[in-house]
């Protein structure tokens, strides 16, 4: 079995950008051809332990065991994985950790316990800790004394309590891999200089946490662009505009504007929509184009409607708009409604409100098929 796994592994390592997928569709980017040439024969004991006791696929077990030239103790590797399982890590999460850096199998339980205690002291559950660490594997390999603990202390000083730090980390654990003195703190000061109350800054921190981890020069530029677009610094839209600009390069921004112009939107339309709903522009140009074309092809809504209610572009076609339009077309075809609802009603009405307005009164005419679809969508 090891020989077969090695043959599969050698095939997967032929290109510099290879991927291996386990039965759970776990895709992981592996090392270059140069590294593959130095591939070490897997440790049979560790291979068997990963495969049979911890349900790794043959390919992943072979890869992990072959990358452990310094840690060939099956007992230690087993104890590490067993400890993580006892602390709510799933098999998929374990595989992500081991493939990211197999050295974790050489960790001592004492070192793992000390790391976990830091997060437990924040009030995080074992499931939450497992989710954070498996999503940001670098946490396990960062120095606690010089990196993790100082970052947590800085966050607590800013947010005021362990509970708030835990809340933020559940949103985005990138704060534990970034230099907060060069990103978070300067960006907070920039927003304070814009006369934005600290309370609103913290709300923004939870809403768009990654925005605070950009370079301060990008934050300053985002502030200037938001002002240029006529968004008041005292409005909630200003915060969202910063989030959009800080995560969108000038090149991608130009692509979005050109896409809208090609669809028939004027610059006034574009600026109006941005001032009303900046978050619409968080989507890619392709996504925006697909939603706009979807709305326009109904012949029930036009560019003016979209400019008036740009929030419609934040709705999912598959999960909200398409099914509702099917219902409205059916009602219209049977002369049960004289006109369609406004774009605002179509897009922002809750499922219950839409059901009460356009399904419940016509249950007999609509039929059980559509009612079942709507109920399924609501779940």
* For the chain, percent of residues with pLDDT exceeding 70: 84
Q: What is the pLDDT of residue 31?
A: 39
Q: Which of 177, 203, 230 is the endpoint of a domain?
A: 177
Q: Domain for residue 309, yes or no?
A: no
248 DSSP assignment: S
Mean pLDDT in the chain?
A: 85
In contact, 325 and 298? CB cutoff 8 Å: yes
Indicate if 100 and 1 belong to the same structural domain. yes
Q: Domain for residue 161, yes or no?
A: yes
Q: How many helices (H) and strands (E) does the chain have?
A: 23, 2
φ, ψ for residue 136, nearest 5 deg: -130, 70
Count: domains in the chain: 5
Indicate if 162 and 188 belong to the same structural domain. no
Q: What is the pLDDT of residue 9?
A: 44
Domain encompassing residue 53: 1-104
Q: What is the pLDDT of residue 72?
A: 63
Select from 142, 84, 76, 138 the least CA-distant residue to 108: 76
Q: Is the pLDDT of residue 37 over 70?
A: no
Indicate if 93 and 40 belong to the same structural domain. yes
In contact, 241 and 278? CB cutoff 8 Å: yes
Question: pTM for this one?
Answer: 0.74
Q: Which of 136, 155, 177 is the endpoint of a domain?
A: 177
Q: What is the pLDDT of residue 42?
A: 62
Q: What is the pLDDT of residue 49?
A: 87
pLDDT tens-digit readout, 289-340: 999 999 999 999 999 999 999 999 999 999 899 989 988 998 898 899 888 9
Q: Which of 135, 157, 177 is the endpoint of a domain?
A: 177
Indicate if 29 and 98 belong to the same structural domain. yes
Mean pLDDT confidence for 72-89: 90
Q: Domain for residue 206, yes or no?
A: yes
Q: Is the pLDDT of residue 166 over 50?
A: yes
22 or 347, higher pLDDT: 347
Q: Domain for residue 7, yes or no?
A: yes
Mean pLDDT confidence for 44-66: 85
183 or 367, higher pLDDT: 183
Q: Domain for residue 310, yes or no?
A: no
**C-alpha span between 176 and 180 (Å, rounded):** 8
pLDDT tens-digit readout, 192-247: 999 899 998 999 999 889 999 999 999 999 999 999 988 988 888 898 999 999 99
Indicate if 173 and 183 belong to the same structural domain. no
Structure tokens at 216: 């301060």
Indicate if 93 and 14 belong to the same structural domain. yes
Q: What is the pLDDT of residue 371?
A: 63
Q: b vs e for 25-52, b when ≥16 Cβ sit within 10 Å of the residue's Cβ?
A: ebebebeeeeebeebeebbeebbbbbbe
Indicate if 237 and 274 belong to the same structural domain. no
106 or 279, higher pLDDT: 279
Indicate if 5 and 63 belong to the same structural domain. yes
Q: SS3 of 313, please?
A: helix
The stretches of 184-311 forming alpha helices (DSSP H) are 184-193, 198-207, 216-228, 236-246, 250-262, 267-276, 285-296, 303-308
Q: Domain for residue 236, yes or no?
A: yes
Indicate if 242 and 256 belong to the same structural domain. no
Indicate if 21 and 58 belong to the same structural domain. yes
Which residue is listed with tokens 């398409």? Answer: 322
Indicate if 74 and 22 belong to the same structural domain. yes
Q: What is the pLDDT of residue 242?
A: 93
- Kindly compute the dihedral angle of the four CA atoms of residues 195, 200, 204, 205, in this order, to the nearest 10 degrees: 90
Q: What is the pLDDT of residue 6?
A: 44
Q: SS3 of 28, please?
A: strand
Q: What is the pLDDT of residue 215?
A: 95
Q: What is the pLDDT of residue 309?
A: 96
Q: Domain for residue 269, yes or no?
A: yes
Indicate if 195 and 279 belong to the same structural domain. no
């Amino acid at each position: 079995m090891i020989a077969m796994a090695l043959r599969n592994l050698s095939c997967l390592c032929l290109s510099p950008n290879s991927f291996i997928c386990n039965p759970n569709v776990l895709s992981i980017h592996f090392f270059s051809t140069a590294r593959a040439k130095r591939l070490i024969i897997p440790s049979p004991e560790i291979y068997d332990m990963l495969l049979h006791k911890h349900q790794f696929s043959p390919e992943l077990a072979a890869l992990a065991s072959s990358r452990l030239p310094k840690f060939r103790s099956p007992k230690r590797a087993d104890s590490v994985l067993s400890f993580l399982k006892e602390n709510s890590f799933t098999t998929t999460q374990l595989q992500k950790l081991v493939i990211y850096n197999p050295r974790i199998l050489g960790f001592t339980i004492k070192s793992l316990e000390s790391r976990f205690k830091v997060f437990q002291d924040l009030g995080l559950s074992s499931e939450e800790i497992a989710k954070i660490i498996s999503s940001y594997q670098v946490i396990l390999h960062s120095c606690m004394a010089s990196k993790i603990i100082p970052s947590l202390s800085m966050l607590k000083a800013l947010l005021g309590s362990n509970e708030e730090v835990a809340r933020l980390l559940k949103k985005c654990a990138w704060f534990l891999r970034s230099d907060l003195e060069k990103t978070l703190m300067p960006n907070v000061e920039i927003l304070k200089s814009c006369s934005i109350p600290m309370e609103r800054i913290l709300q923004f921190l939870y809403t768009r946490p990654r925005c605070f981890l950009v370079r301060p020069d990008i934050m300053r530029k985002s502030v200037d662009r938001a002002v240029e677009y006529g968004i008041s610094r005292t409005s909630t839209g200003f915060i969202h505009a910063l989030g959009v600009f800080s995560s969108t390069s000038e090149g991608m921004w130009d692509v979005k504007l050109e896409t809208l112009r090609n669809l028939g939107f004027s610059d006034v339309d574009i600026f109006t929509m941005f001032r009303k709903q900046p978050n619409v522009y968080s989507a890619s140009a392709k996504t925006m184009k697909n939603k706009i074309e979807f709305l326009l092809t109904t012949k029930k809504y036009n560019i003016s409607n979209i400019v008036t209610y740009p929030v419609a572009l934040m709705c999912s076609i598959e999960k909200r708009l398409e099914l509702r339009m099917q219902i409205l077309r059916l009602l219209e075809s049977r002369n049960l409604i004289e006109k369609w609802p406004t774009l605002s009603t179509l897009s922002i009405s809750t499922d219950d409100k839409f059901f009460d307005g356009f399904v419940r009164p016509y249950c007999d005419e609509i039929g059980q098929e559509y009612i079942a679809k709507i109920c399924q969508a609501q779940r």
